[in-house]
Structure 1
Amino acid sequence: MTSSSKTPSIILMYHFFYPDDVVSARHFTQLAEGLYYKGWKVRVLTTNRYCRYSHKLITPKRELHNGIEIIRVYRPPFNQANNYLRVLNSIYVLVAWSIRLLTMKRSDVIVVGTDPQFAALIFPFLRLFCRGKTLVHWCFDLYPEAIVADKKGKITYLAALIAKCFMYFSYKFVDIMVDIGSCMREILKKYNNKITYSTLVPWALVEPETIELPDQDTRTNLFGSDAKLTILYSGNMGKAHEFTRLITLARHLRDCSDDIVFCFACRGNRYEELVKEINEQDTNIRFAGFAKESELSKRLGCADIHLVSLKDEWAGIVVPSKFFGSIAVGKPIIFNGPENSAIGKWIIEHNVGWVLTDNNIQKIADKLIQLKEDSEQIKQYAQKAQQVYKTHFSQKSVIQQWDTLLRGKIK
């Protein structure tokens, strides 16, 4: 840990934290650890439930982990798949956090994430009882925008308008708004254009130093022994993701080059819908189960190209973290999503893949057929992708940006 005459202090507030292995919990845990080793006194206010296993309790209520003080408030085992219970859970957690904060020592900085839903509603309370402190909001997704994107209808629209009024009020108390992409920032600026904005992305959980050779057993298991070019979708297939163009691309290739093989290794509430779209003629499309973290590196490394998707209406509301994980291991991207989204812009700016649209499916299919016979060009794409990640998106780079940003804003 670095030394200084005055140790800056920070409180991180997020729904899930160590030992939970859900991706966002890992990011907050690694941010906490990174700031601790840069000389911060770090406390974390979280809950005592796992994200995917709400029936399981995390103990103890208070512990010291890698220099970080973790405080867990009790949270009822509400089913997060139920929208009404999820909102009730948010209210409960924010009230519990507010009560717990009243007994905690003040901190130079407080960072609040976007889980539970509408977590930003706690900012007026933080300003009232933590005067003079720097309040930061790290936005992984946006509510109520996500609710509107997911469900249409007059009732949903009316509820969103009401919720936006509350969010508009709460955002007035934020000092620094940290987004994870340019489209998200544009949405946030409609609420409050006068505060400090910064883009700090969620880095990849797997960051190899070099591009590793593919594990042949894993490659064969996912794609078969005859595949010459392998294309992988790994991760969640949820409400924000789209797969129609990806299937169309695969079918274009099937008819002229069936040794270019796609594998969807995923889970999520659209996974069954995806499976039903595939028929017996789709011989170049395969499926695999969700990977354990211990197997993730091998799986990500065995494909030549990765797939990332995002529905147009979700641009700026979420940013698929698969993008960062893919280029971290040196994989170029086929992005099935809007060109003007953050990922679309990064791919074009850094030349780390292709943005798939209705108008260029055949063009990208032709490019993939060319790459199948050009292993040297595939290696060049891989090296470029990993170098871009290390320069712009790595954990080391982003945590350094966090440290610089926060130290410059301490009141």
Structure 2
Amino acid sequence: MRLIFVNRFFHPDHSATSQMLSDLAFGLTQHGYDVNVITSRLRYDDAGAQLAATETVGGVRVVRVWTSRHGRGSVILRAVDYLTFYLSAAWTLLKTARRGDVLIAMTDPPAVSVVAALVAKVRGARLINWLQDIFPEVAEALTPGRAAAKTLFLPLRIFRNASLRHAERNVAIGALMAERLQNIGVDRERIAVIPNWSDVEAIHPIAQSQNALRADWNLANKFVVGYSGNLGRAHDIETLLSAIAISERLPARTRAIHWVFIGGGAGYERLKREAELGEFKNVSFYPYQPRGALAESLSAADVHIVSLKPELEGLIVPSKFYGIAAAGRPTIFIGCSRGEVARDIVRHDCGATVAIGDALALVETINAMAQDPARCVGMGERARAMCEEKFSRTSAIAMWSRLLLSVAEAPANNTNRTSHFVKPPIAKRQEP
């Protein structure tokens, strides 16, 4: 079986979709699969980077197509980058794909499944959509005047829906996402749930006394609240800003709480500006850390923040939750109490959930953890156990291998087939 993945970013890029794809591609190669990747020559955080057009990395054959490189500064210019990738990837797929190949389309750029579906039909290949988010619903949820946005995206939605309904499988990364897919008309037999994961061998708990970053960042004897990764439009900023302001005004005896933000994004930059304007003393900002340093950077915090706006539940799953759990740290989730992350937190008692806008509750939750370090450590240990059991890279690759074998064994586009893989636990839809 020959696999051809399509995504705009791949190793050595460190963006979220690139890391997931790189883990899976290298893992499947070790399992004996013939793995190919069609990607761009760009890096997410460096529009000027120029990666090799073709190479073989870790047994994976990588073809990097030409695209424009305007970056993320303008919506229109970003759309041009997307369009040039669609055209270049489609041309390369048409030249590369053969009957019986399995095309696996991710979601960067959005709706690349439409391109992959057309090529799969022409070339007699099989299509699997690997959904890291559901677009254009994400854009609609984040756009003021949603009715106008829905009208604008209607043509794209029609083609996108067709590509989902005719794929051999659509891999959702959470049960709520599987519900969303079923609600837009995708047959349940064409949906599988494989959560994203963390490398539990590379990311492991490091004791505070042995963590060099805590010393380098002057975090000794402080209760550290961390945020690691992209902080953007999908995440709540206001609650964080209010909570930081409240914690700055706490009596001196409780001022040991310190906030550390690692990463980037529009929200990250805004927080940094507001912290400077407010002259906040207990907040630090650091850039993305190398992947090899994640065990140290994630373990530098005593507890981590994860946030997702309620209207995006089922459209996005914050994958940073798995890295936090692998590092043996609890999570405070700011968002819907019925959301994907919130459910796991409750099920495994590995953190807490706070409603968006309730900054006081967030500060009180942090203070309670700071005053009961044994309970905080226990939640982190349960998070690690959960990650080893449910969200490890090894188990995810095994699940993907079973899925691929079930696709290979089934007649192409047989609408009556049943999945040999995972029946997603789809319950009645609940609005967040």
- TM superposition score normalised by structure 1: 0.88
Q: Greater shift after overlay, 61-70 or 371-380? A: 371-380
> Which of residues 396, 399, 404 in structure 2 aligns to 1:398?
396
Aligned to 1:167: 160
Distance across 2 between alignment mates of 1:308 and 1:406: 32
Contact kept? 1:182, 1:341, Cα under 8 Å: no
Deviations 1:350-374, CA, capped at 9 Å, x for gaps: 2211011269765664454343343
> Which of residues 253, 268, 273 in structure 2 aligns to 1:271?
268
Distance across 2 between alignment mates of 1:374 and 1:362: 18
> Which of residues 232, 235, 238 in structure 2 aligns to 1:238?
232
The runs of 5 or more residues in structure 2 that have no matched partner are 411-432
Q: How far 1:224 moved relative to its partner? A: 4.0
Trace 1:122-133 onto structure 2 (pairs within 5 A). 122-131=115-124, 133=125
Is 1:297 the counterpart of 2:303? The answer is: no
> Which of residues 72, 78, 89 in structure 2 aligns to 1:86?
78
Distance across 2 between alignment mates of 1:291 and 1:72: 25
Matched residue pairs, number?
401
> Which of residues 133, 140, 148 in structure 2 aligns to 1:141?
133
Q: How far 1:253 moved relative to its partner? A: 4.6
Aligned to 1:260: 257
Distance across 2 between alignment mates of 1:165 and 1:144: 11
2:332 is paired with a residue of what secondary structure? strand
> Which of residues 194, 202, 214 in structure 2 aligns to 1:200?
194
The runs of 5 or more residues in structure 1 that have no matched partner are 1-7
Q: How far 1:65 moved relative to its partner? A: 1.8
Q: How far 1:169 moved relative to its partner? A: 2.3
Aligned to 2:63: 71
| Cα RMSD, aligned residues only | 2.5
Distance across 2 between alignment mates of 1:144 and 1:359: 26
* Structure 2 CA distance for partners of 1:25 and 1:76, relative to 1, 3 Å: same
2:95 is paired with a residue of what secondary structure? coil
* Structure 2 CA distance for partners of 1:36 and 1:369, relative to 1, 3 Å: same
* Structure 2 CA distance for partners of 1:178 and 1:287, relative to 1, 3 Å: same
Distance across 1 between alignment mates of 2:338 and 2:228: 23
> Which of residues 36, 50, 55 in structure 1 aligns to 2:48?
55
Q: How far 1:90 moved relative to its partner? A: 2.7
Contact kept? 1:11, 1:107, Cα under 8 Å: no
Deviations 1:76-103, CA, capped at 9 Å, x for gaps: 2233432223333333322322222233
> Which of residues 99, 107, 111 in structure 1 aligns to 2:104?
111
> Which of residues 204, 219, 225 in structure 1 aligns to 2:214?
219
Deviations 1:335-386, CA, capped at 9 Å, x for gaps: 1111222112211222211011269765664454343343332321121110
Distance across 2 between alignment mates of 1:166 and 1:235: 32
* Structure 2 CA distance for partners of 1:116 and 1:282, relative to 1, 3 Å: same
Contact kept? 1:223, 1:261, Cα under 8 Å: no
Contact kept? 2:38, 2:62, Cα under 8 Å: yes
Q: Greater shift after overlay, 238-247 or 154-163? A: 154-163
Q: How far 1:180 moved relative to its partner? A: 1.3
Is 1:38 the counterpart of 2:31? The answer is: yes
Contact kept? 2:70, 2:78, Cα under 8 Å: yes
Partner amino acid, structure 2, of 1:125: L
Aligned to 1:100: 92
Distance across 1 between alignment mates of 2:195 and 2:398: 12
Aligned to 1:177: 170
Contact kept? 1:123, 1:173, Cα under 8 Å: no
2:406 is paired with a residue of what secondary structure? helix
Contact kept? 1:9, 1:40, Cα under 8 Å: yes
* Structure 2 CA distance for partners of 1:175 and 1:332, relative to 1, 3 Å: same
